[in-house]
Amino acid sequence: MLTEGHVSLVTGAALGIGAGIAELFARNGAAVYLLDIDAAGAEVKAAQIRAAGGEAHAMKCDVSHRGDCAAAVEAAMKRHGRIDSLINNAGIYPRRVFLETSEADWDRMQEVNVKSLMHTCQLVLPHMIARGSGKIVNISSVTLWIGVEKLVHYVTSKGAVLGFTRSLAREMGRHNIHINAVTPGAIKTEGEDIHAVPAEIAAIQAQQCLDRRIMPYDVAAACLFLSSPLSDGMTGQTLNVDGGLYLH
């Protein structure tokens, strides 16, 4: 499905959705760079991918720091001479009552969930423009469509991701660069117990059209499609991967 010699950067790839994306891309022949602030976790996942026969490289990267992002892009370009896709998946999700949200809470959310996209895209796009092709997928959230209490700062950041995606798609289309977004729903990941109790998860599943948990693979499959030639007619679009929780 991916082009031969495909090279992909995936942020937030040590666990959860990002790890699922890295695994699926590697199984489809991509050389994958796993960027994560958790360097040890990224290396564990990269080692698992290599053990399964894929090519994977772990990079310590706090996506809110431009220097970290630049080092990862430089490493990929030095080794492979190309970057075909960038998956902006890294994000944070702390719950806060709005009236108890500090300015520091707000700023950190926007730095990780939004400003990081400026860093990675500004660093990767010149290389894509030079080659006349590229695919960028930005991970937003279904919470944007429905609104969720105690997550005003998070939902605001994920709304910004869609605005960023659509506007950048307008600028980059002339260079044959495709920029799309995915809005995941309630995904079964290692860290979901931090954010929800089983009863809350069951209630969400009951509202879905599909009566099953949505897995990282489901989101990864959408990202694979958006990074492959199969989506060459699409840019500035959003794919909702939530089992039919929200229909739009």
Which are the catalytic amino acids?
Answer: 154
Among the listed residues 155, 184, 11, the one whose alpha carbon sits nearest the alpha carbon of residue 94: 155
Instruction: Write phi, then psi, for 29 (nearest 5 degrees).
Output: 95, 5
Dist CA 45 CA 48 (whole Å): 5
- 142 contact partners, CB below 8 Å, separation of at least 6: 183, 184, 185, 186, 240, 242, 245, 246
Structure tokens at 65: 């720091």
